[in-house]
Amino acid sequence: MTVETVGLVGVGLVGIELARHLLRSGHDVLGFDIDPARLASLREAGGRAAGSAADVGASAARIFLALIDTPTTVAAVEGAGGVLEGGAARLLIDTSTGDPDAVVALGDRLAPRGIALVDATLSGSSAQIGSREAVMMVGADDADYRACADLLETVAGRIYRVGGRGAGTKAKLASNVVVGLNRAALAEGLVFAEALGLDLDAFLALLKGSPAYSKAMDAKGERMLRGRFEPPESRVRQHLKDVNIVLDYARAARQPLPLCEAHHALLESLVAAGDGELDNAAVIRAVRNAGKVRVP
pLDDT in tens, 137-156: 999 999 999 999 999 999 99
Segment 5-24 shows an average pLDDT of 97
Q: How confident is the model at residue 244 (pLDDT cuts 50, 70, 90)?
A: very high
Domain spans, the chain: 5-165, 170-292
Pairing outcome for strands 91-94 and 116-123 = parallel
Closest Cα partner for 48 from 66, 24, 32, 65? Answer: 32
Q: How confident is the model at residue 44 (pLDDT cuts 50, 70, 90)?
A: very high
Cβ within 8 Å of residue 296, ≥6 positions away: 258, 261, 262, 265
pLDDT attached to residue 55: 98
pLDDT, tens digit (0-9, with 9 covering 90-100), for 179-204: 999 999 999 999 999 999 999 999 99
Q: Collect contacts of 70-75 with beta carbons under 8 A, ≥24 apart.
A: 70/96, 70/98, 70/99, 70/102, 70/103, 70/106, 71/102, 72/96, 73/98, 73/106, 74/102, 74/106
Q: 5-165, what's its fold? A: Rossmann fold (3.40.50)
Q: Is residue 292's pLDDT more than 80?
A: no
Give the integer Cα–Cα distance in Å for 19 and 52: 17
Element (H, E) at 239: helix 236-252
The answer to whether residues 39 and 49 touch, using CB atoms and an 8 Å cutoff, is yes
Query: By CB neighbour count within 10 A (0-12 exposed, 13-18 middle, 19+ buried), where does 114 fall?
Result: exposed
pLDDT attached to residue 294: 55
Mean pLDDT of the chain: 96
Q: Is residue 296's pLDDT more than 80?
A: no
Pairing outcome for strands 158-163 and 5-9 = unpaired
pTM: 0.92
Read off the amino acid at residue 147. Answer: A
Cβ within 8 Å of residue 111, ≥6 positions away: 117
Q: State how far the alpha carbon of 285 is from the alpha carbons of 141, 180, 182, 221, 260, in Å.
A: 43, 15, 15, 13, 18
Q: Rg of the chain over CA atoms, in angstroms?
A: 20
The answer to whether residues 8 and 30 touch, using CB atoms and an 8 Å cutoff, is yes
Give the integer Cα–Cα distance in Å for 171 and 149: 18
pLDDT attached to residue 21: 98
Element (H, E) at 242: helix 236-252
What is the number of other CB atoms lying within 10 angstroms of the CB of residue 207? 19
pLDDT attached to residue 101: 97
Element (H, E) at 7: strand 5-9
* Superfamily (CATH) of domain 170-292: N-(1-d-carboxylethyl)-l-norvaline Dehydrogenase; domain 2 (1.10.1040.10)
